[in-house]
Structure 1
């Protein structure tokens, strides 16, 4: 049995998760990493992507994170997320509508503002991540 460590996941609005876990798998801008107790100090930027948290019962719980930052220290791991939701709580139809809207906005912004196109692209990435996580439930 692995050694547990403290994990805290917060958003601007709430504490999403606070407790002990034995393992977290999260996507950083450099690639996916697994976090165990005793991990070296580390900080990273998090794009939209999946995150897996090993729960007390030994099973992993999957969530969709919409960007943020990760800090690992001897005191534990802290993730500050723009938004995050458990895969089991994602409204798949709403996520699909968001995908369609983002694709439409990308088409409409072609030849216009790069900022508009980039906002639409980021919205699309968030929607696709939510869809992917929800479909794995």
Structure 2
């Protein structure tokens, strides 16, 4: 059996998940990455996507996050999410609103760098909508 480690998912509103897990997959800004027990420490920004944490009993915890930070340490992982919602609570209306907000961010961007970042988030949300629709 794989060794477990401490995993915490925190949103501005509350602690969403605190559990011993054997693996976690996170949507890092530079790409999706996996974490296991004893992983080398690092800090990563996160893009919109799905956080998956698997408990030692096989239970998979899945949350949609819209940005934030992941702190991987020798003892575990802490995800500080800008927004986090259990995947079971997501629906088309929620994703559509997120896309609308991102489209407004692109339209309101004052410079190219801000516009590029907002456009990236918009495309990631559109990919998320397609992934949820095909699941």
Question: Given that residues 98 and 123 in structure 1 are in contact (C-alpha distance below 8 angstroms), is that contact kept between their aligned partners in structure 2?
Answer: no
* Secondary structure in 1 matching 2:17: strand
Corresponding residue for residue 14 of structure 1: 14
> Post-superposition shift, 1:75?
2.3
In the superposition, the TM-score normalised over structure 1's length comes to 0.77
**Bigger CA radius of gyration:** 1
* Secondary structure in 2 matching 1:22: strand
What residue ranges of structure 2 are gaps of 5+ in the alignment?
none
What residue ranges of structure 1 are gaps of 5+ in the alignment?
none
Aligned pair 1:124/2:122, yes or no? yes
| Aligned CA distance change for structure 1 residues 8 and 91 (closer, same or farther; 3 Å) | same
2:105 and 2:6 map into 1 onto residues whose CA distance is 40
| Aligned CA distance change for structure 1 residues 97 and 76 (closer, same or farther; 3 Å) | closer
Aligned pair 1:78/2:78, yes or no? yes
* Secondary structure in 2 matching 1:88: helix
Question: Given that residues 9 and 16 in structure 2 are in contact (C-alpha distance below 8 angstroms), is that contact kept between their aligned partners in structure 1?
Answer: yes
Counting matched residue pairs gives 134
Q: Deviations over 1:101-123 (max 9, x none)?
A: 644x478x38x844885686466
2:105 and 2:12 map into 1 onto residues whose CA distance is 27
* Secondary structure in 1 matching 2:12: coil
Q: Deviations over 1:20-45 (max 9, x none)?
A: 10000112122211100010111111
